[in-house]
Amino acid sequence: MDTTQLAQQYIAGRWRSGAGEKLLVDRNPFNGDTVGEFAVATREDVDEAYESAAAAQRAWSGVNAYAQRTVFEEAAAIVQRRAAEITELIIAEVGGTALKAGFEIGLVIDALKEAATLPLRMEGRIYPSAVEDTENFVYRRPVGVVGVISPFNFPFFLTMKGVAPALALGNGVVVKPHEETPMTGGTLLAAIFEEAGLPPGLLNVTVTEIPVIGDHFLEHPIPRVLAFTGSSAVGRHVGEVAARHFKKAILELGGNSAFIVCEDADLDYAVDAAVFSRFTHQGQICMAANRIIVQSSVAAEFKERFLNKVASLTTGDPAAPETIIGPLMNERHVAALEGRVQAAVDAGATPLLRGETDGNVFAPVVLENVSTGDDVARDELFGPVVLLMEFDSDDEAIRIANDTDFGLSGAVHTKDTARGVRIARQIEAGMIHVNDTTIADEPIVPFGGEKQSGIGRLNGHSSIDELTTLQWISVNHGRRQYPY
């Protein structure tokens, strides 16, 4: 991809610099090289972006649904054709490995193919009426303009997850990508949709920082829906601002997933799934398994196999094909995670595996002897650190899994699938996977969490519900009699 073009704002169908004086330097998290430099967007740039999206949306919502569909089919084809270039950008800007990039690109292609079906699924309904000679028509309409705020960990996919269905359902969109991944989470999407034939002005990308614009992106009067993916602390603020301004907030927030291994599980398979669930993209995934909870009778055997597998993971340069664990996003993240691990050890946790940190590359850490009340067991870790815990009964496993303020994802491994489903149904999370990983997303299945893991669902029909609104129009075909 042309990073010179991508290192610009995309506003009102034009590639240009932001009006801000500050320069945002986009750096490679592994080696610190500059990927691009952005003149940041100002409040006035945000105004222009929203006004452009609103103006273009009025025409776009009237475009024939079959014509709308072709844009998303072409976008999916573009991503497929340019997968190698996109992989290079994900490695350079996000610090993801080629394996991670391939996983993310596959999810994006699936999301675009699903979005291509949405224009044809804008169904209305006719309801009977209690009033004589009257019909009730309920029309489904776009909400208008959607503001999308995306994270740094899976920026290409998690931005597309909100952008593609919003556009496909007839809305305009303005994106504010994370300042550390402005290309893969923002301008890359603009370039793809521009090439795919999306009308100019409908999708806008404003690359900026909160100190420059404050809450202006959230408070602006034009967007009716704000779709945010990120931390629960920031998500709470987004939700509060949205509520004050009578906007809908879709919040996909943090997690503290439990991975439960029962005594009858296939241990080799459970180990493979657990390692994937924790260490994919260095554990920087909201669905990642923070806590692996193993039935006591097989805990020792599981632990030995698990530690051997984790110890074999190659760390280092994400551009190297053998690397499994690349860098965390920045030095602040590394320092914070080191502090949390040390605090847990000081509080009595036993490090079964604890490697050395090299720059932003954080070697895997496995801790045991952690109680459910410890901070390290209750909060999201967002890095290659995992806790091993034990349980005796299914009820105890469920209690441990639910002893957190989060409820995004989880997994249960057992050869008795009915037992797995019984356990899963008692876990307070939006998504539980029996005999699989905690990291899963499919384009037609509702994705979202409970408790502090978020509000709302995306994918498939859930995206239709979240990103459209309903209008009731009644028609009286006769002459109604009124009491006065």
Does the pLDDT at position 436 exceed 90? yes
How does strand 468-476 pair with strand 134-142?
antiparallel
CATH of the domain at 284: 3.40.309.10
Same domain? 56 vs 79? yes
Does the pLDDT at position 155 exceed 90? yes
Same domain? 101 vs 34? yes
**H or E stretch covering 385:** strand 385-391
Number of domains within the chain: 2
Same domain? 468 vs 388? no
Which residue range(s) make up the domain with 272?
Answer: 257-434
**Could you tell me the CA-to-CA distances from 460 to 62, 164, 357 in Å, in that order?**
22, 11, 41
- CB count within 10 Å of CB 124 equals 12
Query: Which pLDDT value is given to residue 1?
Result: 72
pLDDT 10s digits, 142-154: 999 999 999 999 9
Indicate the pTM of the whole model.
Answer: 0.97
pLDDT 10s digits, 96-136: 999 999 999 999 999 999 999 999 999 999 999 999 999 99
Contact 341/367 with Cβ under 8 angstroms? yes
Do the domain assignments include residue 441?
no
Query: Which pLDDT value is given to residue 108?
Result: 98
Q: What is the mean pLDDT of residues 414-426?
A: 98
Contact 402/253 with Cβ under 8 angstroms? no
Do the domain assignments include residue 177?
yes
pLDDT 10s digits, 355-372: 999 999 999 999 999 999
Contact 146/173 with Cβ under 8 angstroms? yes
Same domain? 285 vs 411? yes
Contact 75/104 with Cβ under 8 angstroms? no
- Which residue numbers are catalytic? 252, 286
Report the mean per-residue pLDDT for the chain: 97
Same domain? 269 vs 249? no
Same domain? 382 vs 459? no
Same domain? 247 vs 285? no
Radius of gyration of the chain (CA): 24
Q: Which of 68, 156, 151 is nearest to 115 (CA)?
A: 68
Say what percent of the chain tops pLDDT 70. 100
Same domain? 270 vs 403? yes
The residues with which 172 forms a beta bridge, in sequence order, are 145
Same domain? 195 vs 324? no
Same domain? 239 vs 288? no
Say what percent of the chain tops pLDDT 90. 100
Do the domain assignments include residue 386?
yes
**H or E stretch covering 133:** none
Q: What is the DSSP letter of 265?
A: S
pLDDT 10s digits, 217-263: 999 999 999 999 999 999 999 999 999 999 999 999 999 999 999 99
> Rounded CA gap, 65 and 80, in Å?
23
CATH of the domain at 39: 3.40.605.10
pLDDT 10s digits, 10-28: 999 999 999 999 999 999 9
Same domain? 425 vs 464? no
Do the domain assignments include residue 444?
no
Query: Which pLDDT value is given to residue 119?
Result: 98
Same domain? 324 vs 221? no
When pLDDT is cut at 50, 70 and 90, the band that residue 2 belongs to is confident
